[in-house]
Structure 1
Amino acid sequence: MARLKLTLTTVPKAAIPEKGDAYYWDTELRGFGLRVTPRGVRSYVLQYRLPGRNARRLTIGIHGSPWTPEKARGRAEELLYDVKRGDDPVLAARKRAREAVDLEFSKYVDTFTDAYLKSEWRDSWADAKRQLELHVIPHLRGQALPEIEKADLARVIRRLSDRPALARNTHATLRKLFAWAVDQGDLVSSPIPAAPPGVKARKRVLSPDEIVALWQASFELARPMGQFVRLLVTTLQRRGEVAGLPWAELNSLKKVWMLDGERAKNEDDHLVPLNPLAVAVLAEMANATGHEAKRWPRKGLVFSTTGATPISGFSKVKKQLDREMLPILQDMADKRADALGDERELVLLRPWRFHDIRRTGTTQMQALGVPIEVTEKVINHKSGETAGIRGVYNLHAYTDEKRDALEAWGAYLEKLIARASAPNVIALAKGRA
């Protein structure tokens, strides 16, 4: 247990952990401490224990105005006095918070945005709130959270059925809002339907030609966007998880990526074995930072244009990819037609999204004989065979099976790329060196 006299000098210098929160306990007041997150956020906490109960921990406030070490220590002393009288500061804080929260839907959206979205959905919180303001609040304004029923939300989502992507995104934001309300004790249960009503699930899968075109087109993007796209393809992980990837989550010796549950959509830690193509992309990024290909950095972000924040601007990247992919697809079709003696035909690129890459990879894994429960483990997805009671009690991590599946996916990609014989494809042998 790290102990430290908490002062204006020592608090800013407290080391930032690579993973998990670090605690530094004050040498003057028992139970008073400093919590430091991997993001560098410093906050004052109090740990206490009531007779016959487990220890509890309460956050006093984040370091900075108005909370200095002395003010936080003084507040901790007040709370410890309450504990001696038999009062529970955590329960009291929760009660005050519930009494202060306005449960009218439009007001609660503001509370949810400030308390959750801005910190957890840093890159997309503004879009999520705008969706609620434009498509949900006009229909639920004036209703308190406990009054909103499943049918009310189903009608909201059905109004967006002609825009499936918007309907799914709005549904996902509402699902998180109501789940958060339950966690805060503001609701007993969530009324949100399990799936967006009246919205068909996406089934778009990229064809082999489209996969090759996407891979080749990525080399026309400026660093680090091209490398980001290639890591999306080789690992099949979510766009936000790849974009925000810190070097600290990667192990160059074991060739694995341990995704921290705090960054994962389902909040579960997730181990991603890295196939040779993924290793080649990361080695390329390591070289760009001045490190050897086999000795990756331990600090900072893999993909960043500022050095401090993850990449963004994905819509612009997608538009450029579409522009680059279409002539590649046309050229491939022309060469195939010429070889067969057929007439050349106009080629069109059907609309696609980054998320379709995951579906494409898992679909191909099925064709390669990978069991469905393994593909779901590969993409850190809970449904079907891995949901419910079977998922709760099946603690097998599938590490070897995930590696085999991603190796098979990588080998499939290599064959497609080699068959295309594109001049700007990376040298795979060099990538493994």
Structure 2
Amino acid sequence: MRIAFTDKTIAALKPRPERYEMQDAHCPGLSLRITPEGRKTFGVKYRHGMKQRRMAIGVYPRISLAEARARAMEAMRQVDKGMDPAKRRRQPEFRVEAVATEFIQRYAKPRNRKWMESERILWRELVAVFGQRDIREIGREDIIEIMDNAVDRGAHYQANRILANVRKLFNWCIERGIVEKSPTTGLKAPTKEVARDRQLSGAEITALLRACRNDVYPFRQFVPLLLATAQRRGELANMRWSELDLAEKTWTIPAERSKNGKAHHVPLSTYALELLAEVPRFIDCDYVFTTTRRSPVAGFGKALRRLWQATGADDWRYHDLRRTAASGMAQVRVEPHVIEKILNHMTGKISGVAAVYNRYNYETEAREALEIWGARLANLREESAGVSS
């Protein structure tokens, strides 16, 4: 479909379940591709010889509409001269932003299902600060600076993630001949990480459910659903209505979003279904939890601080709710292998040769376990209502 591109019309383009493309009425060949996740990428379509081709230009709004049109026009001028713009030899682009973009496209995306997390960290911590600098000029002191900034704001483990992702970026740059040495060489993670064992007590769950009931969508339903389903925060944040079979009371996490790369079927308890029934549903939006209608819910840190204040405890994290759910099911004598099934863990009581031959999926047991756990949460919710009344 052809429309006149403006910043306003581009902003109005909403994600759909399938990727789609729009053409610019004012610039021949210029197109905009919109993914189900809301990513908008400019490209230019042209014919070279007998073949129709498309060359990516850049991601909006990191590249402006005006710049995209200029690049598209330049590409079409090259086509008029008989050249293929996608295959022209270009001077290497050494700006941090450009190199990081290519790293994500060529290295992170093909190898890591969680590449979006790497992209988020690099853009927030490295590109936002040094994006227009030549990456060959980035030194050890610059990397220490961004890690120290993370530590100073209390994001101690995040500082470790920053170092890990920046190190991968520079190692890739060495392989490509972009830099001769990495500024991360010899740097150690600033924070020693220890395995967490925090789980919420019954009284703490009651306080948390009370705080959520006094909150608003999306976290009013999102946080209790973390407890009810025992799934990972990122998996629930990206939940789509199309993944839910409410008649069968099942949520299917697709393989591309599952940590172990296998589709995971999560039984939905009565309690979980009650929470989902409260969630508003937006037209032309498949996300269950969203504030933009174009992308999944964000703002987890701000919401967590709000819940800390409401519950009077600031030593728990979202992932601790998953551990709390697993421990709660264990307390009512759910078998360990059933809990592993619910958590979608590859390890557990049934592993090795036994796992090869035992193909029973324990879905019935998992459904019973989550129903029992959901009933427990429903009781705690009623207790919280009694306390607040």
TM-score by length of 2: 0.60
In the TM superposition, residue 272 of structure 1 has moved relative to its aligned partner by 5.0
Distance change in 2, residues 1:45/1:192 (3 Å): farther
Residue from 134, 137, 142 that aligns with 2:139: 142
Deviations 1:312-368 (A, max 9, x none): 322332224414xxxxxxxxxxxxxxxxxxxxxxxxx68322221112223445652
Deviations 1:55-83 (A, max 9, x none): 99641245721223x96265156369444
Distance change in 2, residues 1:250/1:269 (3 Å): farther
User: C-alpha distance in 1, partners of 2:166/2:265?
Assistant: 29
Which residue in 2 is equivalent to 1:428? none
Deviations 1:379-431 (A, max 9, x none): 566x757xxx99xxx9x9x9954675365134223135437852738xxxxxx
Kindly indicate whether the alpha-carbon contact (under 8 Å) linking 2:15 and 2:34 is maintained by their aligned counterparts in 1: yes
Which residue in 2 is equivalent to 1:342? none
SS in 2 for 1:205: coil
Higher relative contact order (CA 8 A, sep 6+): 2
RMSD: 5.8
In the TM superposition, residue 281 of structure 1 has moved relative to its aligned partner by 0.7
Which residue in 2 is equivalent to 1:292? none
User: C-alpha distance in 2, partners of 1:360/1:88?
Assistant: 54
Q: Is 1:369 aligned to 2:345, yes or no?
A: no
In the TM superposition, residue 270 of structure 1 has moved relative to its aligned partner by 5.3
Kindly indicate whether the alpha-carbon contact (under 8 Å) linking 1:128 and 1:170 is maintained by their aligned counterparts in 2: no
Kindly indicate whether the alpha-carbon contact (under 8 Å) linking 2:243 and 2:252 is maintained by their aligned counterparts in 1: yes
Which residue in 2 is equivalent to 1:219? 213
In the TM superposition, residue 203 of structure 1 has moved relative to its aligned partner by 1.2
Q: Report how many residues are paired.
A: 337
User: C-alpha distance in 2, partners of 1:220/1:182?
Assistant: 48
Distance change in 2, residues 1:65/1:247 (3 Å): farther
SS in 2 for 1:199: coil
User: C-alpha distance in 2, partners of 1:65/1:198?
Assistant: 47
Which residue in 1 is equivalent to 2:318? 354
Distance change in 2, residues 1:302/1:168 (3 Å): same
Deviations 1:78-120 (A, max 9, x none): 3694449xx845xx46x723xx24xxxxxx599759997xx95
Kindly indicate whether the alpha-carbon contact (under 8 Å) linking 1:259 and 1:271 is maintained by their aligned counterparts in 2: yes
User: C-alpha distance in 1, partners of 2:246/2:186?
Assistant: 42
User: C-alpha distance in 1, partners of 2:48/2:343?
Assistant: 41
Distance change in 2, residues 1:230/1:32 (3 Å): same
User: Which shifted more, 249-258 or 265-274?
Assistant: 265-274
Distance change in 2, residues 1:220/1:420 (3 Å): closer
Which residue in 2 is equivalent to 1:422? 383
SS in 1 for 2:66: coil
Deviations 1:214-260 (A, max 9, x none): 33442233444322221221123344554565545544445444557
Query: 1:20-31 to 2 correspondence within 5 Å?
Result: 20-23=18-21
Which residue in 2 is equivalent to 1:177? 166
Kindly indicate whether the alpha-carbon contact (under 8 Å) linking 2:199 and 2:324 is maintained by their aligned counterparts in 1: yes
Query: 1:30-429 to 2 correspondence within 5 Å?
Result: 34-38=32-36, 39=38, 41-45=40-44, 58-61=55-58, 62=60, 64-68=65-69, 72=72, 75=75, 78=78, 81-83=82-84, 88-89=87-88, 92=89, 96-97=92-93, 100-101=94-95, 108=96, 112=100, 120=116, 129=125, 142-143=139-140, 166-181=155-170, 185=176, 198-243=192-237, 245=239, 247=241, 249-258=243-252, 264=257, 271=264, 273=266, 274-286=268-280, 299=285, 301-304=287-290, 310=297, 312=299, 313-323=302-312, 351-365=315-329, 368-371=334-337, 375=340, 378-379=342-343, 401=362, 404-405=365-366, 407-415=368-376, 417-418=378-379, 422=383, 424=385
Kindly indicate whether the alpha-carbon contact (under 8 Å) linking 2:252 and 2:263 is maintained by their aligned counterparts in 1: yes
TM-score by length of 1: 0.55
For 2:200, the aligned partner's letter is L
Percent of pairs identical after alignment? 23
